[in-house]
Structure 1
Amino acid sequence: MRTSSSTAETERAVTAAGVEVLGVRVPREQARTVWEEWRGRHDRTGWWPYVTLSPPSDATEWHGHEAWDADALERWVGEAACQDHDARAASIVVSACRWAVEEVANVDDDFDLWRSDYDPDRLAPLLAPAVERPLQGVSQWATGPRDFFEKDWRWVNFVAARSGYEVPVLLPRVYTTWGWAGYGDRGLTPLDTSALLRRWHERWGAQLFFANRSYLELVVDRPPLDPRGAAQAAAELRAYCHDTVDDAVKAGDTMARSTVWSLWWD
Structure 2
Amino acid sequence: MKPSEKGWLKEYLEFRKDLLGELTSEKRKSTHPEHSLYRVIQPTGLMYGHAVEVLDFPDQKNWDEKDKMKLLLAESLISSSLLFHDKPISSPEDLSQLMAKTLDSIANFYNNVFPELATPSKTFFGKRKTGLELAEKILDKRIEKTVEFSGNFWTQFFHNSLLFLDIFIFGQWIHTNADRIVSDFFKYEREELRFSVVKIIAAAAHANQKIEFEERKLLDFFLQSAGLPPEKKKEAIEIFERGIEVEVINLPTNNSWLLKKYFLEMAILT
State the TM-score, normalizing by the size of structure 2: 0.29
> Higher strand fraction: Structure 1 or Structure 2?
1
State the TM-score, normalizing by the size of structure 1: 0.29
- If asked which structure has higher relative contact order (CA below 8 Å, sep 6+), I would say 1
